[in-house]
Amino acid sequence: MEPETITPIGVVCSEVKDRKLMPPFGIPARIELFPKYEPGLRHLEKHSHLWVVAWLHEAGRERLRVTPRGVRIQDETTLHGVFAVRSPTRPNPLALTAAKIERVEGNIVWVDQLDFIEGTPIIDLKPYFRSRDAIHSARSASIGQPDSRQAMLISILGQAERFHGERCGGLALAARIIEHLRSVFLDYAEIFGFSVTLPEGSGCLIDCVIGLSGASFGKKTLNFHRQNTIRFGGQTRSYDYQLLEPGHRWGDWEALTWEGVLALEDAELFRLI
């Protein structure tokens, strides 16, 4: 096949200029299209999110096997093919990231977070379609491990917010519990396949656990009870978390703020029984 020419349609404007300094999930940024492509943004406001396709101009293109970011042991057994990971190193260093549209002004699109450095060429923008792009039954085995518990919590909070659509106390509480379970007992492994039993009426908390565990009635892995506990049932043992009441009545977790829950210690939020 003859080589094809890719023409950038714009660039990323970001405060981060060094790839090594980019947080794992990016920072707020803007996409500045070249003026000739501004008409292509018409009716973009119909969508809340979009796919951003970029060209990683500083990435290597020779290696086909890499050790993924976050893998602590680096040897032959941890090498992954570049098509099995999201490494920037690949024959054609294209990157794909979903971002929430904050606003559109002329030829500039502001997004909530983008993990591309300043000056990264933008190749294309595509709307995110909830009816086509969301695959809630998808599964992925863990590729690497977070650098710390805090890094895992940030990842879980981001996943929970994307599933639920907003930040709230119940969501943050469930995220704290799942982070504790995965880091303390599961060596950072995912909880897909676990059965869960949740307290009735805790809507936002329920959303978070369903979104992060994939539990459902159809798979007979989702149950409810009238106790203030969350049970995670694994293949070999179960983990029961009792929700505590730091200054408010049970069932009123939604009254707590996202920031309020994140400011409390584990012992103030739950205990293992």
Residue 5 within any structural domain of the chain: no
pLDDT in tens, 103-128: 999 999 999 999 999 999 999 999 99
Residue 144 within any structural domain of the chain: no
116 and 40 fall within a common domain: yes
Final residue before a domain boundary, out of 133, 161, 179:
133
Q: How far is CA 36 from CA 47, 74, 77, in A?
A: 22, 46, 48
Q: What is the DSSP string of 187-240?
A: TT---TT-EEEEETT-HHHHHHHHHHH---TTTT-EEEESSSEEEEE-SS-EEE
Q: Return the number of other C-beta atoms located less than 10 Å from residue 219's C-beta.
A: 11
Does pLDDT of 205 surpass 80?
yes
Final residue before a domain boundary, out of 102, 133, 164:
133
Q: Residue 129 maps to which CATH number?
A: 2.40.30.70
Q: How far is CA 149 from CA 146, 231, 253, in A?
A: 7, 21, 23
DSSP state of 251: T
Residue 73 confidence (pLDDT): 65
Residue 170 within any structural domain of the chain: yes
Q: How far is CA 173 from CA 149, 158, 185, 229, in A?
A: 15, 13, 18, 12
Residue 248 within any structural domain of the chain: yes
227 in Cβ contact with 250 (< 8 Å): no
Q: What percent of the chain has pLDDT above 70?
A: 92
Residue 149 to residue 115: CA distance in whole angstroms:
21
**Domain limits at 36?**
10-133
22 and 92 fall within a common domain: yes
Residue 239 confidence (pLDDT): 96
pLDDT in tens, 176-194: 999 999 999 998 888 888 9
Output the six-digit token pair for 56. 């990683």
128 and 156 fall within a common domain: no
Strands 222-225, 195-199: pairing is: parallel
Residue 221 within any structural domain of the chain: yes
pLDDT in tens, 165-179: 889 899 999 999 999
181 and 245 fall within a common domain: yes
CA nearest to 37, candidates 95, 117, 122: 122
Residue 191 to residue 215: CA distance in whole angstroms:
10
Q: Residues near 76 by Cβ (< 8 Å), separated by ≥ 6?
A: none
Residue 104 to residue 109: CA distance in whole angstroms:
5
120 in Cβ contact with 77 (< 8 Å): no
- pTM for this model (two decimals): 0.79
Does pLDDT of 246 surpass 60?
no
Does pLDDT of 72 surpass 70?
no
119 and 164 fall within a common domain: no
Final residue before a domain boundary, out of 133, 165, 186:
133
Domain count, the chain: 2
264 and 169 fall within a common domain: yes
Residue 248 confidence (pLDDT): 47
Residue 45 confidence (pLDDT): 93
168 and 217 fall within a common domain: yes
104 and 188 fall within a common domain: no
